[in-house]
Structures are given as structure tokens and as C-alpha cells.
Structure 1
């Protein structure tokens, strides 16, 4: 009975002693200098490094468009008399592609030039003054007018006495008085013409004629330009993509007639996803390929839209491409746009989350997880800082596992536990 009672209390007591030893044993039995501490295993997120040098971004569909394209139109209206350009035809800069009937424009130019020639001759005469023979002719006219005026004055005086003597009627007397006045007016006009010829044209008359000539010169330039505009010429080397009018049709100014495209260099348009907009174009090798043409053709970024498409939420990128000799590309052709990241210099480059980078008095570095799940600080060099990521190189290799979260609470040599969903 006593043995059973002792065993009944022995097992609970032994268990209590064991719990006390586990909880308080390290405190009493660790070295007095405190060098020994509890081992803490940190749970961490991590990722395995792989070099991004030469890594594929993705392949996306694109579409070819001409680098230069324009719809050509006349600046004047009229009936077409020539429309020689054909769709698909290659033309040179300056080639005549279409003509409007120039008849009315030529007549207008000839009329203005005639008026301008006459005005210039008048101005020359005004500046030079009357010729000697003209002055002599005017002097003779004045002498003749004076003789007629004197004769009319004598006739008027004689018939005035007869009228006062009531020998003639009132109407007959009025006729001679009118003849006297007309002769006096003719003499005065002839004298004024002679005086003007002797003095030359007035300065204000000359300035007025010069102003008229300038106005006619402007009209001549406008008429000549209108005549030149009856020819539609190619502004650059290109291919006629489309005809939008027929020959002998009446066309109006600014009505599109032909569509011209320059295909010596083309552009490839591609819709880029949001995940790629932060890539540096200088770090990319981008090229186009075509199903009907062998080879890869380098591309260079020309412009990038800053607003996404409201339906696809992609951003439109336009890339330039030089067309090699012997290759024919037409607007609208489908292309595949591919790219890869490139880095110059030596050493492989790795992309890690920006949270994985630790910067302190030692410089920039990362925690590398060893095979024994202990971490070691390793220095790195930052080659590119992006949105939420950083590209680094240094004493790291492909296959190394680095900590991506909680880097500031880890100590050198600390044991870690990899979490599910590690990066």
C-alpha cells in the first residue's frame, strides 16, 4: 500500500522537475559571461538568382506603317487633265503626279503681267519727264488755242455792240458768248498741259504709281503660284498607296487626290503591356521578324504613348526600322516584335526586389542563404534602379538564394527558415 502511494506521487513530481529544468535551466546553467544565447530561427522569404543578361522579355504582334505618309491635294480648283500616278507605283521627289487644266490660270497671269508692264512704262515716263518734241507739240497747241480764244473774243466784242444796238437777237448773242468761254477754257487747259510737261510729274503722283506697281507685282506672284499649283508633285520619294480621284474629274482645293507613303524606312507599331513600360530602352535589344521574309531586323524606339488604350490598357510604342536593299515592306503588314535585355561590361546582372537590397556602412549587399540555411552578407554593385526592383552584380552567382524580405533584422550567420511562396 505504501509503495502504491509513493508511486502515485512520484510521476507528477518528476514531470514538474523536468518542466522547471527546461524553462529555467539555461538561465542557471549557462556560462556566467552571458555569451551563450537562445538560438532564434527567422522565417524569411527568398528567391533564387538567375541572370537577366539576354533574358527574353516577350514577343508581341506589331504592324508596319510608313515612316512618312501624306494625302496630296491641289491648292487650286479645276478639272483634272492628267492623273498619271498609279497605285503601287514608286515615284521620285519632284515627279508630276497630276495636273489641273492651266488655261484660266495662264490667262490671269498674262493679264496681270500686261497691266504691270504698262504701269512700269508710265512710271518711267513720269520720272523722265516730257520729251522735247512733246513740249513743242504742246506749245503749238497752246498757240492755236490762244488764236482761237482771241478770235472768239473779237467776235464776241463785235456782236456785243450789235446786240446793244438791237441789231441781233438775244440767242445769237449768247452763242458767241459761249464760243468765247469755250475758247478761253481750251486755252487754259493747253497752258496747264504745257506747264506740267515742262515741270514733270508731281512727287505724290510718282509715289502713287510706285504703289500701284507693287500691288500688281503681288498679283503677278499670286497668279504665277496659282499656275504652278496646277501641277501636283511628289514631296519625297515614295510609293503611291491610293488614288482618290479619277482623271477629267473636277476637283476642289484641298481635296485629297493621292496618298503617298515613304517605305524606304518604315515604322513598326506595337502595343506594350504595363509591365514593360519601366524598362530602359537603352538596355534592350529589339527586333522585328516577318512570316514572309527571313531574318531579324533591328528596331529603334521613336515614340511612346503616355496614356493607355482604354480597352486593352496597353501603351503604344512606335519603333523605326531601316529597310535593307531588296526587301519590300508595305504598310499594314504584320510583324512580330521581340526583345531581350542587354548589359555591357563584365559580370552577370541579376534583378532582385528593392526590399532585398541592404545598404549600411559596408556598402550595398544582400543576404545569401547557404546550404545549411545560415545567411551570409555579400556585397553587390547596383547597375540599374527600377520601379520596385534593382539590378545588381558582384560576388553572387546564378543559383544563389537571397533573402527578399526582413533583411534589416537578420544577423550574420543566423539560421533561417524558408517560407512557403518564396520568391
Structure 2
């Protein structure tokens, strides 16, 4: 039995080697570069652009959301009151401007003309009294003090007439263009305040900036929200990328835009179309968690292999193998990357 053990051990080793050769993937062609990395995605910490208590959170963790979808909202009562107040101020400024542009009413002008005629009559009566007293003083039928008083009254009446005439000219000319310009500026300022109030009201709603998946609900109804406090974490559905490292010796042969195929252990029979999106301009030592055929002490350049993830099969952290055809031309960027 002891003599058979070496023979059995040799047969087991030979069988295992034969199985490995049959099951191992075919070697990549010389013009195909194979790299290894992990899937990465972009995330956003979504915040309200206002400070108020959260009224409702409308999505759950893991839920798929579409661009523009309402995710959460704040209590809007205070902001609605500010909008109503700003609307009232705009209406008041608009009416004030309309009043200036319309000018004075005909009734107001007629009143000013009547005041001129009344002032003219008073001025004439005062002047006639003064003239009569001047004649009487020569006959010693009136004192000089009465003449001086009459003269003062005549001068005062004439001044009142001139003031009434000036007021009539202003009434007929209407408001000054400077006053109209100032009223127009006040109206624009009120309209700007109204636009700001409406924007603040709109900021009580939180919408998805892009398609994605809700990863975390950070705030709940009743919590106090602010622009500095994230409410939700959104993982973008597209694009995703594989973070890999390019050996220095192949730096000149890989360019952004070159087509790439991605293979994962989760879906070994499926190849994902991708492209080289980014090659770092700075060299670094190979990270210890990276497996490449090159020595770990060689300098490498970080790469992003970007891929469309329509079926959302590529998940964060998933190990992936990328194959780059070094003889391929730069390809057009797929639609999932276009804005």
C-alpha cells in the first residue's frame, strides 16, 4: 500500500494540472492588454438649499429614482408667506409706477387753474386797494401806515399768484422723468425680491439630479435640514468605471477613448463595452491590492475604464478584468456618457 501512495499522488497532481489547463481562460493575444481592478461609481450627498424642518421623505433606501423626481420636501408655510408678501410689494410698486406714467388727472389740473384765477383776483384786489390808499393819502384821508400795509398785502397776493401759476405748470407738465425712472427701479427691485422668495419656496423641494439609486436616508421627517447637512445619498446609475493601473511601459500605447471590454466574476460569460476615460498624469507605486503581471515595485498610472451600466449589473467594489485592444482606434463616446 505504501508503494502505491506515490503513484496515486502523481495521478492526482496530473489530473489537477490537466483540469486547470482545460478550464483556464485562453491567454490574451499579444496586442491585448489585460488589467485588473474594481468597479467604482459616483455618489452625491443631496442637500436642501434652505433651512427648515423636513416635512416628508418620499423615497426609501435602495429605491431607483429618475432625474427630476421629487425625493423630499421641507415645511413650506414660511416660504409661502414670504412669496405672498413679495407679491403684494410688487403690485404696490407697479401701481405707483402706473400712476406716475398716467400723469395728473384732468380734475386736478382744473383745480389748479381755479386756484390760479382765485389768486389772481386776490392779487388784483390787493393792488387796487394799495393804489386807492395812495391817492387818499395825498388828500390826507388815509394814513401812511395803511398805505404800507396795503402795499405788503399786494406783494403777498402777487407772490401767492406766482406760486399758484408755478403749481399749475407742474401739474400740466406731469411727473419728472427722474421720478418715473426711480419708480421703475423700485419695481425691478421688488420683482427681484419676489423671484428670490419664489426660489426659496422651490428650494423646499429636493429633486434627483440624475438617474440613480438611493443609498442612504440621512434625514427623516421632523429633522432640521440645512445646506450644510446632507439629506440623502444618491449613487448615479451611469456611468460606472473600473479603477485599474497601467504599467509605465505601456503608457504611450493607451489613450483616452480607446475601446475596452470588461469581464466580471459575477457574469463570466458577459462582456461589457467600455472605453478608456482617464489616465492619471502622475505616476505612483502599484497598490498592494492590485494584481498585475508586472512587479509591484514598478511605477503605474491610475486609469478609469468607463462603462455604461444599463442593467445595473456592475456594482460598487466588484472585481473586474479589463481587456484593451492596443491596436484599436479611439472610439466615439457612447450615449450614456453624453449630457
* TM bin (shorter chain): 0.5 to 0.7
Q: Which has more helix, going by share of residues? A: 2
Question: Alignment partner for residue 284 of structure 2, among 300, 309, 314?
Answer: 309
Q: Contact conserved, 1:83 with 1:247, CA < 8 A, in 2?
A: yes
Unaligned runs of 5+ in 2: 1-26, 123-158, 288-298, 329-339
1:328 maps to 2:303:
no
Q: CA deviation at 1:90?
A: 1.0
Q: Contact conserved, 2:35 with 2:244, CA < 8 A, in 1?
A: yes
Q: Contact conserved, 1:64 with 1:269, CA < 8 A, in 2?
A: yes
- Mean CA deviation greater in 272-281 or 297-306: 272-281
Normalised by the length of structure 2, the TM-score is 0.63
- Partner of 2:235: helix, strand, or coil? strand
Where do residues 220-239 of structure 1 align in structure 2 (5 Å cutoff)? Answer: 220-239=194-213
Q: Contact conserved, 1:285 with 1:342, CA < 8 A, in 2?
A: no
Question: Alignment partner for residue 87 of structure 2, among 113, 116, 121?
Answer: 113
Are the structure 2 counterparts of residues 57 and 310 from structure 1 closer, same or farther at C-alpha, using a change threshold of 3 Å? same
Q: Contact conserved, 1:55 with 1:340, CA < 8 A, in 2?
A: no
Report what 2:273 is aligned to. 298
CA distance in 2 between counterparts of 1:225 and 1:297 reads 43
Question: Over alpha carbons, which structure has the higher Rg?
Answer: 1
Per-residue CA deviations over 1:102-154 (Å, capped at 9, x if unaligned) read 22222222222212211111111111112223445666788999999xxxxxx
Report what 1:347 is aligned to. none
Per-residue CA deviations over 1:40-94 (Å, capped at 9, x if unaligned) read xxxxxxxxxxxx992376654322123x543222222222112212221111111
CA distance in 2 between counterparts of 1:293 and 1:227 reads 47
- Mean CA deviation greater in 258-267 or 96-105: 258-267
Q: Contact conserved, 1:91 with 1:239, CA < 8 A, in 2?
A: yes
Q: Contact conserved, 1:59 with 1:336, CA < 8 A, in 2?
A: no
Question: Alignment partner for residue 71 of structure 1, among 45, 65, 78?
Answer: 45
Q: Which has more strand, going by share of residues? A: 1
CA distance in 1 between counterparts of 2:190 and 2:214 reads 39
Unaligned runs of 5+ in 1: 1-51, 149-184, 345-423
Where do residues 317-396 of structure 1 align in structure 2 (5 Å cutoff)? Answer: 317-325=303-311, 327-330=312-315, 332-339=316-323, 341=325, 343=327
1:92 maps to 2:66:
yes
Q: Contact conserved, 2:256 with 2:275, CA < 8 A, in 1?
A: no
